């Protein structure tokens, strides 16, 4: 019988790593995808030490272009992927973005997602796509990041069923700048993702919910 795999794209991200080590779910067959191959293999080794029975496949991939995304898709067609978690994101301030990086940002944050979820190989795959609350309330210093996440939101319903778009508010990671009381803990984010996988939730979700109301009222502030 062909094994069922859980695919983690952007597995070197802080949230993805925390999720895998703290999830209440058991992942016997994992495919980890990230750009940095050295960090990826090191992370896989650490996870394997804790879960000796797990089968872990690592794939180094840069999702900043159509050609690279198609190469990844071709590799993934050899596996039966039941669940895909998309954590990959490029999150730079506009002032630090070079012209050639703008295209990469939009591709990693949006277009690569579209290419993967629309491929026929993944017609039976359940997706959890990590979006951002800033798709609803653009950050002035990260307009391109916000716009790339908005593309996910605006085009969500054009794609197949079996997709959950999770727009988190600021999560308590080392790079997040926000008051502590407004940050979602990584453990709470993990529990939310667990819930989506277990219950196969479909649609667009915002966590914590109060960010949805904040994003609505902030539009009326001059």
CATH number for 104: 3.40.50.720
Instruction: Give pLDDT, residue 34.
Output: 92
Question: Each residue of 94-116: pLDDT tens digit?
Answer: 777 788 888 899 999 999 999 99
Residues in the chain, overall count: 222
Q: Can you tell me the mean pLDDT for 32-38?
A: 86
Cβ atoms of 145 and 91 within 8 Å: the answer is yes
Instruction: Give pLDDT, residue 1.
Output: 37
Q: How far is it, in rounded angstroms, from Cα 60 to Cα 187? A: 27
Question: Each residue of 200-211: pLDDT tens digit?
Answer: 999 999 998 877
Non-local (6+) Cβ contacts of 99 within 8 A are none
Instruction: Give pLDDT, residue 221.
Output: 67
Question: Each residue of 160-177: pLDDT tens digit?
Answer: 678 999 999 888 777 766
Cβ atoms of 196 and 164 within 8 Å: the answer is yes
DSSP assigned state of 43: H
Share of the chain above pLDDT 90, in %: 49
Q: How far is it, in rounded angstroms, from Cα 86 to Cα 33? A: 10
List Cα–Cα distances, 36 to 19, 97, 137, 209, in angstroms.
Answer: 19, 20, 31, 34
Share of the chain above pLDDT 70, in %: 93
Instruction: Give pLDDT, residue 37.
Output: 79
Using alpha carbons, select from 160, 159, 180 the residue that is nearest to residue 169: 180
Q: Can you tell me the mean pLDDT for 73-78?
A: 94
Domain count, the chain: 1
Give Cα 73 distance to the centre of its chain.
16
Range of the domain at 158: 4-218
Q: Can you tell me the mean pLDDT for 146-151?
A: 89
Instruction: Give pLDDT, residue 139.
Output: 72
Instruction: Give pLDDT, residue 178.
Output: 65
What interhelical angle do 143-154 and 99-106 show, nearest 10?
30
Q: Which of 48-52, 58-62, 97-101, 170-174 has the lowest mean pLDDT?
A: 170-174
Non-local (6+) Cβ contacts of 160 within 8 A are 117, 118, 123
Q: How far is it, in rounded angstroms, from Cα 147 to Cα 106? A: 8
């Amino acid at each position: 019988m062909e094994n069922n795999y859980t695919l983690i794209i952007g597995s070197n991200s802080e949230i993805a790593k925390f999720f895998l080590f703290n999830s209440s779910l058991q992942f016997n067959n994992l495919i980890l995808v990230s750009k940095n191959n050295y960090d990826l293999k090191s992370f896989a080794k650490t996870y394997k030490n804790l879960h000796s029975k797990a089968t872990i496949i690592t794939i180094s991939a840069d999702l900043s272009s159509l050609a690279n995304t198609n190469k990844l898709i071709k590799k993934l067609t050899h596996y039966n992927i039941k669940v895909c978690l998309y954590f990959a994101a490029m999150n730079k301030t506009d002032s630090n973005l070079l012209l050639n990086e703008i295209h990469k940002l939009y591709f990693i944050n949006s277009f690569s997602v579209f290419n993967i979820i629309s491929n026929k190989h993944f017609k039976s795959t359940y997706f959890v796509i990590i979006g951002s609350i800033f798709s609803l309330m653009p950050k002035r210093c990260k307009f391109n990041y916000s716009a790339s996440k908005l593309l996910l939101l605006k085009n969500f319903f054009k794609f197949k069923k079996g997709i959950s778009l999770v727009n988190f508010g600021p999560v308590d990671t080392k790079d997040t700048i926000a008051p502590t009381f407004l940050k979602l803990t990584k453990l709470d984010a993990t529990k939310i993702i667990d819930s989506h996988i277990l219950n196969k939730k479909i649609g667009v979700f915002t966590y914590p919910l109060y960010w949805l109301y904040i994003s609505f009222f902030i539009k009326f502030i001059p």
